[in-house]
Amino acid sequence: MYSDLNGKVAVVTGGSKGIGNAIAKRFGGEHMSVVINYHTDEVGAQKAAKVVEDEGGRAAIVQADISTEEGNKKLLDTAIHEFGGLDVWVNNAGMEIKSPTHKVSLEDWDKVIAVDQRGVFLGSKTALDYFVSNDKKGNIINMSSVHEQIPWPTFASYAAAKGGVKLFTKTIAMEYANQNVRVNAIGPGAINTPINAEKFADKKQYDKTVSMIPMDRIGTPEEVAAGAAWLASDESSYVTGITLFIDGGMTLYPAFKDGEG
Ligand code: NAD
């Protein structure tokens, strides 16, 4: 546990399942107050809130589409009215749509960019405005991906969005570094969450994914949440503008692992 997180207020977008759910739980374990955003899964969000409370934290759930300004404002308003302010904002919500790039519809392209990139901008803007206007120490964590670095054919919209998140994160980290706001990204590799359920149910695809990971296993949402807790805490007080890859070594060019080539 990180004692400085006790009593701090966090917003976690896309918190009803997957990585966001694990981050909310971990923040509960740090005795934080957590605004859990969900898009459609109210029951999942209610369950997540109960877990946060069981872990020793406080929780509020908020339906919001994080690709909109109103959605993000709703999250900040809840943090302020329910818990008295904001300390940590996690832009976790994300989505992907597979398609050969020459066939992708404009609608699908826009959908992915709206959630994965515009949502991160709007969430960050909302949090930054609060931190700066209130002259308050702040912390922003953006969920990127190994695909901010590794090209991903048939997922060009996702890779474009995450590549954008990488440089957006570094840019605002620099812009607000001397105003007591730290901004970092997390780049998960292959993590066992609903976004991958279909893929991992197929043994061939599962084995292929594992073969691209030097540690020879898929990661857990809890392992990503541990990174989020560290970045949120003062233990990382001199860290800003990084992407913390939590990927079992996936970004280490695993094809070279036999020392050949
Ligand atoms: P997930 O599908 O389990 O969860 C994604 C969450 O985002 C869901 O709760 C969903 O409702 C929410 N969401 C989507 N659109 C939204 C919107 N418009 N408004 C509000 N919420 C919305 O996936 P996950 O694996 O938990 O992914 C979480 C984040 O981690 C994403 O940004 C994803 O790109 C990233 N990531 C995941 C992996 C992985 O292997 N699971 C790898 C790299 C990056």
**Which one of 158, 206, 238, 253 is the catalytic residue?**
158
Q: Is 159 exposed, middle or buried (0-12, 13-18, 19+ CB in 10 A)?
A: buried
Pick from 85, 15, 90, 77: which is nearest to 51 by CA? 15
What atom of ligand 1 comes closest to residue 195's alpha carbon?
2
- Ligand 1 midpoint to CA 94 (Å): 4
Strand ranges, E, within 6-137: 9-12, 33-38, 58-63, 88-91
Which residue has tokens 């998140």? 165
Q: Is the pTM of this model over 0.85?
A: yes
Q: Is 158 a catalytic residue?
A: yes
Say what the pLDDT of residue 105 is.
Answer: 98
Q: 64-109, pLDDT tens digit by residue?
A: 999 999 999 999 999 999 999 999 999 999 999 999 999 999 999 9
Query: pLDDT confidence of 202, banded at 50, 70, 90?
Result: very high
213 inside domain: no
Which residue has tokens 């759930």? 61
- Ligand 1 midpoint to CA 195 (Å): 7
258 inside domain: no
Indicate whether residue 93 lines ligand 1 (CB < 6 A). Answer: yes
182 inside domain: yes
133 inside domain: yes
In this structure, what CATH number is given to the domain that contains residue 51? 3.40.50.720
CA angle (75, 222, 149) in 5-degree steps = 80
User: Does residue 260 have a pLDDT over 90?
Assistant: no
158 inside domain: yes
78 inside domain: yes
Q: 109-120, pLDDT tens digit by residue?
A: 999 999 999 999
User: Does residue 198 have a pLDDT over 90?
Assistant: yes
Query: pLDDT confidence of 190, banded at 50, 70, 90?
Result: very high
CA–CA distance, 259 with 255 (Å, rounded to integer): 9
CA 17 to chain centre: 12
Q: 2-50, pLDDT tens digit by residue?
A: 999 999 999 999 999 999 999 999 999 999 999 999 999 999 999 999 9
Q: Which two tokens stand for residue 139?
A: 């912390």
Domain of 104, in residue numbers: 3-192+220-247
- Ligand 1 midpoint to CA 15 (Å): 9
Report H helices in 84-114.
106-113
- Ligand 1 midpoint to CA 178 (Å): 31
Q: Which two tokens stand for residue 201?
A: 């149910």
What atom of ligand 1 comes closest to residue 191's alpha carbon?
40
CA–CA distance, 162 with 117 (Å, rounded to integer): 7
Mean pLDDT, residues 213-224 taken together: 98
Mutation choice for ligand 1 from 21, 42, 193, CB with most ligand atoms inside 8 A: 193
Mean pLDDT, residues 129-141 taken together: 98
Say what the pLDDT of residue 83 is.
Answer: 98
CA–CA distance, 176 with 132 (Å, rounded to integer): 9
DSSP state letter for 17: S
Indicate whether residue 45 lines ligand 1 (CB < 6 A). Answer: no
Residue nearest to atom 30 of ligand 1 (CA): 143
209 inside domain: no
116 inside domain: yes
Pick from 167, 166, 147: which is nearest to 157 by CA? 147
> What is the Cβ-side half-sphere exposure of residue 168, based on CA atoms within 13 angstroms?
24
For residues 261 and 46, which has the higher predicted lDDT (pLDDT)?
Answer: 46
Which residue has tokens 């374990």? 29
Say what the pLDDT of residue 213 is.
Answer: 97
Number of domains within the chain: 1
- Ligand 1 midpoint to CA 21 (Å): 10
Query: What residues does 185 pair with on adjacent strands?
Result: 142, 243
What atom of ligand 1 comes closest to residue 186's alpha carbon?
44
Which residue has tokens 């515009």? 118
CA–CA distance, 258 with 242 (Å, rounded to integer): 29
Pairing of strands 88-91, 181-188: unpaired
Say what the pLDDT of residue 214 is.
Answer: 97
